[in-house]
Structure 1
Amino acid sequence: MTGKAFSIGEVSRATDVNIETIRYYERIGLMPAPDRTAGGNRQYSLEQKRQLSFIKRARNLGFSIDQIRSLLIMADENEMTCRQVSALTATHLADVQDKIKELKRLESKLQSLHQKCQSNNAPDCPMIEDLFG
C-alpha cells in the first residue's frame, strides 16, 4: 500500500461510519478488502477512505446498496457519464417522491383517525373500531 494507511477506527471516525458497518460493506463486496498488517489489522488507503465517504453520503441520500454499487462501478471504470448518473438519480428521485406521497396518505389517514378519537374514557374507541375494519 502506498501512502498513508488508516486503521478501521480512524476511518470510522473520519467518515462517521460504524466499524461493524464498514466490515459489512467489505463482506458484501461494496468495499474492497483492505490490506492487513502482519498482526492482521485492517489498513485502509486514502482512496478506500474516500470510497467509504462516498458510500456514507449516498446512503444518506437514500440510495440502495445496489444503486451505490452501480455508481461506484461507473466511477471506478471511468466510463461514467452524467447521463447514466442522471438516469439512476431520476429513478431514485421518483421512488422517493412515491414514498413521500404514501407517507402523506398515511399522515392524512392517521389525522382522520386521531380526530375521530374523542380522548375520553368511553369503552369504545372509533380508532380501534376502524383498525378492526
Structure 2
Amino acid sequence: MAPLTSARGYSIGALSRATGVKVETIRYYERIGIMPEPGRTAGGNRQYTHEHLKRLSFIRRCRALGFPVAEIRALLSMVDSRDVTCGEVHAIVTHQLAEVRRRLADLARLEADLSAMAAQCAQGDVPACPIIDTLFDDDAPSLPA
C-alpha cells in the first residue's frame, strides 16, 4: 500500500490506486455503510483521509480472506465502538475458517467427480459420450449447488 501524505486529503482515484480497490467498489462500500462518507471539497469532490485509507485497507484484506460483508460490518462495528474482545473476533474468524474448509471439501468432491468423468472418456468418435451421459444421469452423485 502506497503511503499518502497530502494534508488536503485524497481523491477517490488516489485512494483507489493506494489500496488497489476500484473506484466503483469504494462508492459501493460507502452506499452500504461500511466506509464512512468522506468530506467534500468546495467543488463537491470526495476528500478522503488517512483513516479512510486504513479502513479501506482493512475491508480489502477481509474480502481477500473471503469474509462476507455482514462479518466485515460486525468487525468494523466492534472496532468503531471500541467494545471488542479477542474472543469475539476469534469467533468470527473461526466461523470463516469453517466456511473455507467446507468450500475446500466441496471443491475436492468436484475435483473427484470431474476426474472420474474425464477418465471415462476415450475421446473417440462414438455416438454416445460418457461425460454427457453422466451429466444427464439422475442417479449420478449429486454435486453441491
TM range (shorter): over 0.9
Using the alignment, how far apart are the partners of 1:63 and 1:26 within structure 2?
18
TM (norm. structure 2) is 0.88
Q: Is 1:100 the counterpart of 2:88 in the alignment?
A: no
Give runs of ≥4 in structure 1 deviating > 3 Å.
Answer: none
Q: For the Cα contact (< 8 Å) 1:117–1:125, is it kept in 2?
A: yes
Q: Is 1:118 the counterpart of 2:141 in the alignment?
A: no
Aligned residues: 131
Using the alignment, how far apart are the partners of 2:8 and 2:71 within structure 1?
29
Cα deviation, residue 38, structure 1: 1.0
Cα deviation, residue 122, structure 1: 1.4
Cα deviation, residue 4, structure 1: 4.4
Q: For residue 21 of structure 2, what is the aligned residue in structure 1?
A: 17
- Alignment equivalent of 1:66, drawn from 62, 66, 70: 70
Q: Deviations over 1:25-78 (max 9, x none)?
A: 001111111111111100001101100000000000000001000111111111
TM (norm. structure 1) is 0.96
Q: Greater relative contact order (Cα 8 A, min sep 6): structure 1 or 2?
A: 1
- Give the unaligned 5+ runs of structure 2: 1-6, 138-145
- Give the unaligned 5+ runs of structure 1: none
Identity of aligned residues (%): 50
Q: CA RMSD in A?
A: 0.8
